[in-house]
């Protein structure tokens, strides 16, 4: 026997084991215990554990899904939304980072320049159209990670629902901007002063840098 080897003895097979009778009675004890417990819990008004919380109590563990739901975590990646600026315009600067990062290639953006004289002109663009195909999306959240200005978020808490025509799964800019976050707001708490704002600390084109 090599050093450090632990010898595990094979349990003896007694007559009681081999006749199955004792073991069967033991097994029946276990299954009957669960059966009667379940029966008691299933009666109307029975003490069925609340399966919608995460306590994992003993007893019937079935979650009757569409009728009963477990709350999603706040970090749940739900349907996308586009955050707003203070003036109600989309925050997105049409940098195309998200559509580049998207592994499903389901984001399509048509960038446009701000008009001449607009403080943001030359700093950023804005999306004239912003489309996400929610059917192709795999809800990986890469777009959210990629976005430098926190313009696209998946904090709506909405589970993508079944819609019965494919066209309705193509979410356009208007639709994306109309979805609030799970707290009900359309902005993001991450502050970003725009060019032209008082607290804008960045350089401006006019300074000629």
Which does residue 177 bind out of another protein, ligand SF4, none, counting CB within 5 to 8 angstroms by kind? Answer: none
Among 79, 81, 85, 102, binds ligand SF4 (CB under 6 A): 102
Q: Does 32 bind another protein (CB under 8 A)?
A: yes
Distance CA 68, CA 52 (A): 7
Q: Does 28 bind another protein (CB under 8 A)?
A: yes
- Report in angstroms how near the CB of residue 92 gets to ligand SF4 at its nearest: 3
Distance CA 174, CA 46 (A): 48
Distance CA 54, CA 163 (A): 29
114: number of Cβ within 10 Å: 15
Could you say which DSSP state residue 185 is in?
-
Q: How many CA atoms lie within 13 A of 91 on its CB side?
A: 23
Which does residue 140 bind out of another protein, ligand SF4, none, counting CB within 5 to 8 angstroms by kind? Answer: ligand SF4
**For ligand SF4, the closer CB: 101 or 170:** 101
> Could you tell me which residues come within 8 angstroms of residue 97 by beta carbon, excluding any fewer than 6 positions away?
146, 147, 148
Q: Does 24 bind another protein (CB under 8 A)?
A: yes
Q: Does 159 bind another protein (CB under 8 A)?
A: no
Among 79, 98, 176, 177, binds ligand SF4 (CB under 6 A): 98
DSSP letter string, 31-92: HHHHHHHHHHHHSTT-----TTSS---SS-----TTTS-PPPPTT---S-EE-B-TTSSB--
Q: Does 35 bind another protein (CB under 8 A)?
A: yes
Piece of the chain touching ligand SF4 by CB under 6 A; list 22-30, 57-65, 91-99, 192-200: 91-99
Q: Does 158 bind ligand SF4 (CB under 6 A)?
A: no
Among 59, 111, 119, 141, binds another protein (CB under 8 A): 59
Distance CA 167, CA 8 (A): 64
Residues that bind ligand SF4 (CB under 6 A): 92-98, 101-104, 106-107, 109, 132, 137-143, 146-147, 149, 151-152
Residues that bind another protein (CB under 8 A): 18-21, 24, 27-28, 30-32, 34-35, 38-39, 42, 58-62, 64
């Amino acid at each position: 026997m090599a050093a450090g080897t632990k010898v595990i003895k094979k349990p003896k097979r007694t007559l009681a084991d081999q006749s199955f009778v004792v073991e069967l009675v033991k097994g029946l004890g276990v299954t009957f215990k669960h059966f009667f417990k379940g029966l008691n819990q299933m009666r109307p008004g029975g003490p069925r554990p609340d399966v919608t919380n995460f306590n994992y109590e003993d007893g019937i563990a079935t979650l009757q899904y569409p009728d009963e739901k477990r709350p999603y975590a706040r970090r749940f990646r739900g349907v996308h939304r586009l955050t707003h600026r203070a003036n109600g315009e989309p925050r997105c600067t049409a940098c195309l980072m998200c559509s580049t990062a998207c592994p499903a290639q389901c984001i399509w953006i048509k960038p446009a320049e701000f008009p001449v004289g607009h403080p943001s002109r030359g700093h950023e663009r804005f999306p004239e159209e912003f489309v996400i195909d929610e059917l192709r999306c795999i809800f990986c959240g890469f777009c959210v990670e990629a976005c430098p200005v926190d313009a696209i978020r998946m904090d709506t808490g909405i589970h993508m629902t079944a819609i019965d025509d494919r066209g309705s799964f193509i979410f356009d800019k208007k639709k994306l901007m109309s979805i609030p976050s799970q707290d009900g707001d359309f902005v993001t708490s991450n502050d970003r002063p725009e060019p032209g704002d008082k607290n804008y600390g960045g350089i401006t084109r006019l300074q000629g840098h």
